[in-house]
Amino acid sequence: LPPTPLTQQLLNDLDNLYSLLQLMEVLQGCGDPPGPGPPPNQQRDPPQMEPELKELLEGAPHTV
């Protein structure tokens, strides 16, 4: 079945949203244009995770 106009519109919206998310990730990831040396976000301390999230990730195996 050919997609109905509504479905097609929805697919286009999803596609646009996905592209936008990727773009935002790229923008957040590099802040400054990449120059020589590691990008700025690697020179700082590793980002602090939300404590709960960190506990979930690290604690998952041995909470069982």
pLDDT above 70 for 7: yes
pLDDT at 64 (0 to 100): 46
Top pLDDT among 42 and 13 is at 13
34 pLDDT band (50/70/90 cuts)? Answer: low
pLDDT at 17 (0 to 100): 94
Domain ranges in the chain are: 1-33
Q: 27 with 39: CB under 8 angstroms?
A: no
CA atoms within 13 A on the CB side of 60: 5
